[in-house]
């Protein structure tokens, strides 16, 4: 039976950003985004501790500001957007500072732990109650079968195994 104090929150896409950062040729960082994503949070009242979070991103919406690179990322060398059109995160626990959950990329699901900064709750000029979060973490892309790589003439790796995740999210209280 669902708790009657359950509050539902949905992500405000206009005021949210889902980004990842990867070292390129070990000398610079490339930032990419998922432009099409959805997320919901279920809380007990307005308390986000022990909240349950679900997040999905449309892999075809990947945007690194370079069409050739985006198409390569959508290919089977990386995400295989045709066969695995979305990535998904489902929380298992949230203590207010860290969120633990299952991240699914391609056909691999692994538990990840992400750092969370809760920036508070505010009411906007239209009377909507909003909550803001910054979520950060790091994964090894090879854990999710994103294994393609190249080597430069000098022997440098083209794409780092480590991928930083940076999410700025604003949620709107429903009801």
Q: What is the pLDDT along the chain (175 residues), one digit of tens a residue?
A: 445 689 999 999 999 999 999 876 666 788 999 999 999 999 987 789 899 999 999 999 999 999 998 998 999 988 999 999 999 999 999 998 999 999 999 999 999 999 999 999 999 999 999 999 999 999 999 999 887 776 555 555 567 789 999 999 999 999 7
Task: Give the total number of structural domains in the chain.
Answer: 1
In a domain, 1, yes or no: no
Cα–Cα distance, 22 to 20 (Å, whole number) = 7
User: Where in the sequence is the domain holding 30, given as residue range(s)?
Assistant: 6-173
> Whole-prediction pTM value?
0.90
Q: Domain holding 18: CATH number?
A: 2.40.128.110
Q: Which of 27, 147, 19, 22 is nearest to 75 (CA)?
A: 147
With respect to residue 75, please indicate whether it lies within any of the assigned structural domains: yes
């Amino acid at each position: 039976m669902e708790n009657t104090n359950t509050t539902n929150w949905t992500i405000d896409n206009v005021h949210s950003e889902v980004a990842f950062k990867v070292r390129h040729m070990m000398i610079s960082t490339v930032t990419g985004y998922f432009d099409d994503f959805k997320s919901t949070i279920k809380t007990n009242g307005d308390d986000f501790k022990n909240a349950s979070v679900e997040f999905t991103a449309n892999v075809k919406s990947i945007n690194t500001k370079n069409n050739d690179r985006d198409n390569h990322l959508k290919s089977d060398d990386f995400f295989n957007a045709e066969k695995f059109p979305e990535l998904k995160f489902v929380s298992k626990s949230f203590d207010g500072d860290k969120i633990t959950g299952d991240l699914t990329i391609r056909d691999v699901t692994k538990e990840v732990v992400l750092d969370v900064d809760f920036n508070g709750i505010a009411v906007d000029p239209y009377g909507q109650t909003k909550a803001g979060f910054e979520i950060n973490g790091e994964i090894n892309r090879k854990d999710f079968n994103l294994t393609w790589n190249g080597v430069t003439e000098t022997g440098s790796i083209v794409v780092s195994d480590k991928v930083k995740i940076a999410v700025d999210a604003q949620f709107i209280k429903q009801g």
